[in-house]
Amino acid sequence: MQAGWYRYRMKWHFYPDGRIWPEYSYSAASATCTSASHRHHAYWRFDFDLEGTPTNDVIREVNPATSTTTQFTTEVQRTWGTAADGVYWTVRDGDSNVGYDIVPSTVDRLLAIDSFSKLDFMALQYHAGVYDDGVTSLSDCAIHQERMVDTPGASTAPENIVGVDTEVWYRSSALHNGGNPWECDIVGPSLRPQGYTTTQTGGEPAPPVDGLVLESARPNPFNPTTSIRFRTAEAQYVTVKLYDVTGREVAVLFEGYARENREEIVRVDGTALPGGTYIVRLEGERVQGSTRVVLLK
pLDDT of 250 reads 94
Q: 94 with 19, same domain?
A: yes
How far apart are alpha carbons 172 and 281 in whole angstroms? 32
Q: 173 with 230, same domain?
A: no
Q: 105 with 167, same domain?
A: yes
Query: Looking at residue 253, which CATH number applies to its domain?
Result: 2.60.40.1930
Q: 66 with 169, same domain?
A: yes
Give whole-number Cα distances, 204 to 27, 214, 261, in Å. 20, 18, 10
Q: 140 with 262, same domain?
A: no
Report the candidate in 242, 245, 243, 264 with the shortest Cα–Cα distance to residue 253: 242
pLDDT of 151 reads 53
Decide if 206 is inside a domain: no
Pairing verdict, β 166-176 and 276-284: unpaired
How many other C-beta atoms are found inside a 10 Å radius of the C-beta of residue 218? 10
Longest dimension (CA), the chain: 73
pLDDT of 83 reads 82
Contact assessment for residue 51 and residue 93, using Cβ atoms and an 8 Å cutoff: yes
170-203 pLDDT, tens digit each: 999 888 888 777 777 888 999 999 887 644 444 4
Decide if 74 is inside a domain: yes
pLDDT of 204 reads 47
How far apart are alpha carbons 236 and 9 in whole angstroms? 27
Decide if 207 is inside a domain: no
Q: 13 with 135, same domain?
A: yes
User: In whole numbers, what is the pLDDT of the chain averaged over residues?
Assistant: 86
Decide if 14 is inside a domain: yes
Decide if 149 is inside a domain: yes
Report the candidate in 226, 246, 90 with the shortest Cα–Cα distance to residue 170: 90
Domain enclosing residue 104, as ranges: 2-194
Q: 171 with 263, same domain?
A: no
